Amino acid sequence: MIIKSHDITHDIIIIGAGIVGAAIAYELAKYELEILVLEKEAEPSFGVSKSNSGIIHTGFQSPATSLKGKLAVRGNKLYSDLAQKLDLPLKQIGELVVAFEEELPKLEEMQKNGQELGVPDLQIVDRAWLDQHEPNLNQDIQYALLGPTAAVINPYEAVYALLENALANQAQLHCSEKVLSIQSQNSVWQVTTEKAVYKTRYVINAAGLFADEISQLAGILCPKIIPRKGEEFLLDRHIQNLTERVIFPVPKPDTKGVLIIPTVDGNYMLGPTATEIEDKTDLSTSQAGKEKVLKAISNLVKWLPETIVITSFAGLRPALKNGDFYIQEDQPGFVNLVGIQSPGLTAAPAIAEHVREIIEKKQPLKTRVHYQSERKAIPRFRDLPLNQKNTLIQQDPDFGEIICRCEEVTKAEIKMAIQRGACTLDGIKFHTRAQMGRCHGSFCTAKIMTILKDELGLKYQQITKRGKGTEIVY
């Protein structure tokens, strides 16, 4: 246990409530530590983590010598246990890197690399196997590297699961609170935000795209983040049987390529592109991006439905020039996590262990006395059997009121999301799927705004899409 002097407010301040910050909060909340997570956005997961492909990679795509490779392989192993404890939907569907005739040597190289990393059960399969298991793949694809341990999740659901558990174990979370300055005095770090001043033993910089800027605030040099944009395109739930597994082309040096991702929600996602940009807030999509993705995918499959895209979005990867993660205690008590891009979601639980080890090296940690190891998700009404639906409605009539008809989300689920911290339309969407269906909120937006207004005591005019400046109506 870390000894506290009287003016220290926290043992650990984590900057950033994305997947990395959430995983670290979860890991450290197992111990008797005063933890505070600071997030500049209105809700957790509103940065890099919300627009992510949602793949738990096997890890074989990263070099065997890299830190990210080791952490991704370890992270993949940790997820199935996390999914159980934290009630996180996860489907282990496997991944295939598909190759044309001349690309076989590349697959063998990747397999060898994966084996060095300790990725289990890697196997190169031939056309006969593909005909049987992935009949829609382009006929010219002759081989594929099969990684059966790959899985899919919703990245934001992982953030919620990890953070809700951390909060149940006494960690604190402050949203809409941007860090303005960081100073150190006598091995205590002073973190000044828009709202308060905190004094802490440790600062964990998990600020995603802005991690290099946070490091600079503390006067610590670190590699510069080069945002790399990825555009993704989601298909309607009615489109089925495109592929069973996550499909990758043979990768290029800077990207894993354009993928077919059967998401955990049962619809397909196509993407991402990879374009280096300057502006860390540029989340615009483009016609060129769409054309590029559809062209790349049409190269992978025999059949692609014509009018298919129900929505698109862009995300930014916080990439570094050398391509690896940068994780180190750059000054005593200041841990930098910079350049945590793909496979950052996969690696996050292992990154959290790594950070815990850094802290543990200096100071033994005391296990939390009343530790809660589990967390329950908001029930997903749509997926329950009829008798369970009926029981829920009897217990709480709000389950008998459907608000989002496309995704069959009830008023009770939306109220639960609000109780768990959702305060914006996007937050409600990521917590419950309301507005995520094929009408994109045309029918439920006003109803959700009314629930937010009533539950949070707001005026309609104060309700936002994703925080201050994104108000919906006048």
Partner 1 sequence: MSIKKEYNLIVIGGGPAGMAVAYSAFQAGVKDILLIERHHKLGGILNQCIHVGFGLHYFKKELTGTEYAARYRKLLSNTDIEIKLSTFVTNVSPQKEVTFINRSDGVCVARAQRLVLATGCRERTREMLTVPGFRPAGIFTAGLAQEMVNIYGLMPGKKIVVVGSGDIGLIMARRLTLEGSQVLAVLEIQPQLSGLIRNKVQCLDDFNIPLYLEHELLEILGKNRVEGIRYRDVKGQKEVYMKCDAVLFSVGLIPERDLLIDQEMTPSNEVRLAGNANYVHELVDHATKESEKIGQEIAQELLGAKNV
Binding site for partner 1 (CB under 8 A): 233, 238, 281, 283-287, 289-290, 309-313, 386-387, 389-390, 393-394, 397-398, 400-402, 405-406, 408, 438-443, 445-446, 450, 460-461, 464-466, 469-474
What CA–CA distance (Å, rounded) separates 357 from 352?
9
Work out how close the CB of 115 gets to partner 1 at its nearest, in angstroms, rounded to a whole number.
41
> In terms of DSSP H, where are the helices of 53-101?
67-85
Active site residues: 57
Pairing of strands 246-249, 95-100: parallel
Burial string for 48-73 (b: 16+ CB within 10 Å, else e) reads bbbbbbbbbbbbbbbebebbbbbbbb
What minimum distance in Å lies between the beta carbon of 403 and partner 1?
A: 10
How far apart, in Å, are the Cα atoms of 274 and each of 98, 180, 256, 308? Answer: 19, 31, 9, 22
Q: The tokens of 101 are what?
A: 């005739």
Nearest-angstrom CA–CA distance, 253 and 80: 29
Cα–Cα distance, 29 to 171 (Å, whole number): 6
Q: Please, which residue, 379 or 400, has the CB nearer to partner 1?
A: 400
Instruction: Read off the tokens for 113.
Output: 């690399």
Of 87 and 408, CB closest to partner 1:
408
Pick between residue 197 and residue 446 the one whose CB is nearest to partner 1.
446
- The residue with tokens 């790399």 is 228
- Single out the residue of 377, 396, 397 nearest to residue 157, CA to CA: 377
Shortest Cβ distance from residue 294 to partner 1 (Å)?
A: 10
Nearer Cβ to partner 1 (220/309): 309
CB closer to partner 1 out of 76 and 435: 435
Minimum gap (Å) between residue 132 Cβ and partner 1? 25
Interior/surface letters 13-38, b for 16+ CB within 10 angstroms, e for the rest: bbbbbbbbbbbbbbbbbbbbbbbbbb
- Closer to partner 1 by CB, 136 or 450: give it: 450
Question: First vs last Cα of the chain: how many Å apart?
Answer: 51
Closest CB 461 distance from partner 1, rounded Å: 8
Report the nearest approach of partner 1 to the CB of residue 50 (Å).
11
Calpha distance 11→333 (Å, rounded):
10
State which residue, 456 or 473, has the beta carbon closest to partner 1.
Answer: 473
Strands 268-271 and 226-235: antiparallel
Q: What is the DSSP string of 114-136?
A: HHHHT-TT-EEEEHHHHHHH-TT
Residues 6+ apart with CB under 8 A from 23: 162, 348, 349, 351, 352
Q: Which of 242, 293, 298 is nearest to 267 (CA)?
A: 242
* Least distance from partner 1 to the Cβ atom of residue 228, Å: 18
